[in-house]
Structure 1
Amino acid sequence: MIELGGLVVKASIVELTNDDRAIIYGALLWIAAKLQSDEGEQAKRLWTAKGRQAFDAERRE
């Protein structure tokens, strides 16, 4: 759980939402609904690619 919270911080979500937990929770619920929809596989591919790019960019810094 600590690592998952770290990803929220790393993605600047805490800063961008002024640590508003309702916004963060709502966004996570939206993500879950998207993944359960007909567009779920497409979203997974897109988000996986974006996440890998971000991790790779960090490694190069």
Structure 2
Amino acid sequence: MGKKALLELIEKIKRMLKVSTKPSMDDFIQSLKITFLGITVVGIITYLVQFLALLLQLKPR
């Protein structure tokens, strides 16, 4: 990455920070709910996969 490209990147970051705004409390709560829902879904899927693997290991041969 050259010096010119680095300076352009810094300018783009500065521009983005100038136009960005703090989210409202409602937006923040909604994002938090969606994040926790995603974490919960991934956790449930992981639990089910591990439980299925355990059942397959206990299967009589």
Question: Based on CA coordinates, which of the two structures has the bigger radius of gyration?
Answer: 2
**Shorter-chain TM-score tier:** 0.3 to 0.5
TM-score (norm 2): 0.39
Higher relative contact order (CA 8 A, sep 6+): 1
